[in-house]
Structures are given as structure tokens and as C-alpha cells.
A and B are shown apart, each in its own frame.
Chain A
Amino acid sequence: MTTQISVPAAVDTRDPLVIADREFGSRLIMGTGGAPSLHILEEALLASGTEMTTVAMRRVAPSTQGSVWDVLRRNGIQPLPNTAGCFTTTDALRTARMAREALETNWVKLEVVADERTLLPDPVELLDAAERLVDDGFIVLPYTNDDPILARRLEQLGCAAVMPLGSPIGSGLGIRNPHNIELIVEQAGVPVILDAGIGTASEAALAMELGCDAVLLASAVTRAQEPMLMASAMRDAVTAGRRARLAGRIPVRRYAEASSPTPD
């Protein structure tokens, strides 16, 4: 005999991620860097169930075959252009404006990094760029340090979400400071998206258990030995972590608490 387990409808069907009044059924935002081919990328994106995916802007190269923009369009995935590779406010503004024109969206994943070795956000340039882009009518999703105060400042400037890193881009080090992520979540009035550093499914689930509203990852999937399989693992992990967060975990105890009745 099989038992039907009913998952509360509120969890399964009506728990959208809402950013700037737009609803997303999936809480997994994908990146596109590192995939061995466009075909493998497309398979992985579909397996991940993502509804929004970030892309970089670069000079047109005549040799380029196929287009990531076509992949997103034919699968109905919202493009989230990013400013990867920008080190200054000026670079980021230029790239964001070009992306808005090319991809016909005013959404931008704002990245302003300090150096190539760490790819850590430069907080001073980031705040400046965020303010100018918000003023220019962009929906700004900034990639930021796991610094609660910086996250608060970005929200105050009008960013539509904050995206703290778990650890450096592409490192697979997971979430190095879960306490800071919790502090950011506690105070945030906009969605918190864990961005960068995720290496495997348990880390994506942890991000959601800590209270993040979504996870953004690329390398963990695109550089996995089986990208499509890892994409489906991430999809499940984000869902599982979200449900666990909503369910409310038991308190951690130092000693055992019997789960069976005491013997007579």
C-alpha cells in the first residue's frame, strides 16, 4: 500500500520569488560561465528549472558560433545581463547601458570587482555604480560582499535585491560566513540571493535554510563532470532548503532528547 503525502499547496505552487514586482516560480538563478558548449549549457539550464539566467556582454567576435541570447529566448528564460569584468563605476555603467540596449531589459546584475585574483567586490565603486544605475532607471541586483552593513546601504540606495557571496567566484568553497548571511537576511527588506562560491547541492540547500530567497550559481553546474545531473541536484537542493526553512528546524541541543516514550 502506498501512502499519499500531501505537500502544502502554499509551499509547492504558490511560493514565488518576487523581485521588483516580477514573480519567479524557481528560486535558482543560473549563470552561464564555464560551460563546455552551448548545447550542454542549454541542457543544464533546462534541468535546473531556472527562469532567470545571467549573461556577460563582450565585443562581437566574427568566429562566435550560436548565441547564448538565442538559447535564453527560445526557452523563455529571462536574461539578467551582468557587468562581469568591470573594475570601476565607469566600466559598469557603460556595460549596463549597452546590455539594456542589446537585450531590451533594464535588469542588471551589477558586478564591480577589485582585482582579478580574488574577484571580490570593490565596495566603494559598487555603491557608487549602484546609485547611478538606480537613478538611471535600472533594476539593480548587486553582487556584494557578505557584509551586512554594505547590504543595508545597497538596499537603501534602491537596489531590488542584494546578492552576497558565499565565497569567491568559482571557488566552490561554499558559504564561509553563514552568520553574516543570517544577519543580512534578518535585516533585509528586499530579496537576498546567495551569489558565488557554491560548490555542491548541500551548500545551495544551506543558503536557503539560512533564509536566502534564492541562489545564483554557475560554475558548480557548468564545470561539474555531469552538468545536467548537477543542475537537477541544485534544483532539488534549493527546493528542499526552502521547504526546510519554511518548516522551521528543531533547536540544536547539547544532549539527547528521547524520541520514544520512556519504558514502563
Chain B
Amino acid sequence: MDVIINGERRDMAPHTTVADVVRSLTEENSGIAVAVNDEVVPKAAWAGTTVTENDRVDVLTAVQGG
């Protein structure tokens, strides 16, 4: 199953959750926000939200800037 994670197409196992996607990118879980197809997924819903084929998942954090 192809999912677009932070702009890169990746092959993910079926039933992958948003929490799995975050863990694949970073060990942090505070200071992070996730959107699936531009809709913010609240942290409390990460473990219960599965991603599907061709979803666009963006995982953002605070960085130096501005």
C-alpha cells in the first residue's frame, strides 16, 4: 500500500495507523502535529486512525525560523 508521507511515496503495511507513521519518522511525540489529506488528526486519535492507499500524511514539528 503506497502512502505519501511528508511528500515521499512509501510502501506501508495494510492497517498502518497514524501513530505508526509518526513512529517511523521520529521518537518524539510531543511538539508534533499530523494531517491526513490536509485534515489535522488530534493526537488522541493517532492510534485509532488507519491510513489508506494514496493518503497524504504530513508530520510537522517546530523548527527554528521566523
Question: What's the minimum C-beta distance from A198 to chain B, rounded to whole angstroms?
Answer: 14
A77 to B11, CA, bound (A): 40
Say whether A41 contacts B64, CB under 8 Å: yes
**Interface positions of B from 16 to 64, Cβ below 8 Å from A:** 25-26, 28, 30-35, 38, 40, 42-43, 58-64
Count of B residues near A, CB < 8 Å?
A: 24
- Nearest residue (CB) in A for B26 is A60
Say what secondary structure dominates the interface of chain B.
mixed
Contacts of A59 in B (CB 8 A): 6-7, 58-61
Say whether A101 contacts B42, CB under 8 Å: yes
Interface residues on A, range: 35 or more
- Nearest residue (CB) in B for A79 is B62
A56 within 8 A of B: yes
Say whether B25 contacts A56, CB under 8 Å: no
Say what secondary structure dominates the interface of chain A.
mixed
- Nearest residue (CB) in A for B31 is A69
- B residues with CB within 8 A of A: 6-7, 25-26, 28, 30-35, 38, 40, 42-43, 58-66
Listed by A's residue number, 21 A-B pairs whose Cβ atoms lie within 8 Å are: A31-B65, A54-B66, A56-B64, A57-B60, A58-B61, A59-B7, A62-B25, A64-B26, A68-B63, A69-B30, A84-B66, A97-B40, A98-B35, A99-B33, A101-B33, A102-B31, A102-B33, A102-B60, A102-B61, A102-B62, A218-B66
